[in-house]
Structure 1
Amino acid sequence: MSEPGKTKFQVDLRRHLRETGVEDNLTHLICEIAEASKYIIHSIRTGDLGVAGTSNLYGEKQLALDVLADRILRKRLDHSGVVVNMMSEEMDQIIPVSTDWEGKYSVAFDPLDGSSLVDVNLAVGTIVAIFPGYDLLRPGREQVAAIYILYGPRTTLVYSVGDGVYEFGMNNLMEYTLLREHITLKPKGNLYSPGGLRNQYTPGVENYVSTLEKRGVKLRYSGGFVPDINQVLLKGEGVFLYPHLKDLPRGKLRLLFELSPMAYLVEQAGGAASDGHQPILDLLPTQIHERAPVFIGCKDDVALAEEMLRTYEGKKDVPAEKGRSVKASG
């Protein structure tokens, strides 16, 4: 008898997508992203860990792996034949691919989230949000699929198209086979992963974290968004937070590339994701690299965060983020 949530049979990704009725173009797109990850993991294992000699739009030095992972994904998406627009966390513009958007998709992605952890051999990942048609600046609830790929001791792919959350593992032939299906979260967890400096926490966040600690919740934080969310999902419990801070009132993580796809996956697993006041998936981005605070994981733990913020801070106006207007290359 198989363990709960695990599959008994070796089913590859493409077969699984077809058998569960995923539309052909979306199946092709998800498989193209999976193919790209094979080249990214090879680059992580064998590639240059130094800087690329360039900076990203946040003024941070780009690692050679950041640039390479971005190029790999963009090339696969560009040649997939099913993508209208794409947008990378490493770029400052939407990249148009096709003027024919009927039956096609637009993709926002973080090619190598947590790349600064590679040189100390910690897990990193790729995060992808998929929207129907040509518009990317829309609430995360309008996604048709979300994916992350974790490059750790094992390479795994976790995805949802709105009918539950599935985990696939890369085997020794570099094929993804189904490991776990219908992943679910408990209402309340025993783990928390807190991002940001504690001395920058606001009163609501400080009281929230103190309440978790008094409850005996264990701190488990890797410094990487993908491995920490993966931990919450696969253990079936916990909460991750990168809140608004005194010096970062909008938090650190990007709404389109990081928060919306992860919120989609966590909600599909029965959890919740909030900026402290409303669901992440209901937030409408007004610019490409918009940030938001996040509390994501077990429903009751996220609801507790919202309650603490209401009690200790109320609803505060957050200063508008000075950023880049949306533009397309070409």
Structure 2
Amino acid sequence: MPYSEPGKTKFQTDLRRHLRAKNIEDNLVHLICEIAEASKYVINAVRTGDLGVAGTSNLYGEEQLALDVLSDRIMRKRLIHSGVVCKIASEEMDEIYEVTTDSDGMYSVAYDPLDGSSLVDVNLAVGTIVGIYAGCDLLQEGRKQVAAMYILYGPRVSMVYSVGDGVHEFTMNHLMEFTLTRENIRMQPEGNIYSPGGLRNKYSEGNEKFIRYLEAKGAKLRYSGGFVPDINQVLLKGKGIFMYPALNGSPNGKLRLLFELNPMAYLVENAGGAASDGKRAILDIKPESLDQRAPIYIGCSEDVSKAMEYANGN
């Protein structure tokens, strides 16, 4: 329900009310609210949890931090008990978890429970990334997502979501309720911020030329090493580009299509921006495996188009 803070007469819209106004089905409203609820426990873990190593590895052979494992457990448990999810894929699991074979009115969820978790011990912002698909098929093109969202655990906890009808930001208040902060976020055609991931000495000549082009037009370097805070900055300022291109020795870049790129591309496209692997739209790539990676250029549409020109030697 809406509420007014002391000293304020303007009522603020809560998440559930905002979702219901989108005329989406009840199960999807319930699912998005369950994920938002789970994030309250994740932020508590981030603020108070063990920063040590869990002693296990994920399917990519990366050492899992205790916070990764705990955040994954929190999110997965909430999804399983939501009653509206049939399949779950997490960046911290090596296979798809099947909750039920019944696909009627159900959803499948792919998520990164704590993106940028290695930044927690130096107190930088991290986040959760989620993509939602109707039915029980997770290996679909990102364009078939019915919703996507991320939760940013920074100085404030904020959530950005879209169900294909605008992109909206909510902020957690002192009662740990998400209330509407910005509605219908839009991106400008080009911007003045760039966030370049990966070692530049491993960039192709085309990507290096693109960076010089950005620098020549006065773009400012803004890179935290966390995908969620960097995309959040580009999206909310509405003027910038994030890139993690193909590198010499790593032609598919670093970021995972299913868990990271598809949800973010869905959000940015719904805000009027673009996302490409250098040759095609991220949302048009059909995943062939859980661990599939792809290069990424994401942000203002004209900047992404220019990046594609340079990447392809034009």
TMscore range, shorter length: over 0.9
Counterpart Cα distance in 2 of 1:104 and 1:224: 31
1:138-177 matches, cutoff 5 A? 138-177=140-179
What's the offset of the Cα at 1:76? 0.3
SS where residue 60 of structure 2 aligns? coil
1:278-289 matches, cutoff 5 A? 278-289=280-291
RMSD: 0.8
SS where residue 144 of structure 1 aligns? strand
Counterpart Cα distance in 1 of 2:84 and 2:56: 31
Counterpart Cα distance in 1 of 2:236 and 2:135: 31
Aligned residue in 2 for 1:94: 96
Instruction: Read off the aligned partner of 1:55 and give its amino acid letter.
Output: S
Residues 113-167 of structure 1 show CA distances to partners (whole Å, capped at 9, x for unaligned) of 0000000000000000000000000100000000000000000000000000000
Instruction: Read off the aligned partner of 1:102 and give its amino acid letter.
Output: D
2:33 matched to 1:15? no
1:127-276 matches, cutoff 5 A? 127-276=129-278
Q: TM-score, normalised by structure 1?
A: 0.91
Gaps of 5+ in 1: 1-7, 313-330
SS where residue 292 of structure 1 aligns? coil
What's the offset of the Cα at 1:59? 1.6
Counterpart Cα distance in 2 of 1:101 and 1:71: 23
Aligned residue in 2 for 1:5: none
Shifted more, 59-68 versus 260-269: the winner is 59-68
Counterpart Cα distance in 2 of 1:264 and 1:20: 17
What's the offset of the Cα at 1:309? 1.8
SS where residue 259 of structure 2 aligns? helix
2:113 matched to 1:111? yes
Q: 1:61 aligns with which of 63, 69, 88?
A: 63
Q: TM-score, normalised by structure 2?
A: 0.96
Instruction: Read off the aligned partner of 2:259 and give its amino acid letter.
Output: F
* Sequence identity (%): 70
Aligned residue in 2 for 1:317: none
Aligned length: 305
Shifted more, 209-218 versus 260-269: the winner is 209-218
Gaps of 5+ in 2: 1-9
Instruction: Read off the aligned partner of 2:88 and give its amino acid letter.
Output: M
What's the offset of the Cα at 1:227? 0.2
Runs of 4+ displaced beyond 2 Å: none
Instruction: Read off the aligned partner of 2:134 and give its amino acid letter.
Output: P
Instruction: Read off the aligned partner of 2:29 and give its amino acid letter.
Output: T
What's the offset of the Cα at 1:72? 0.3
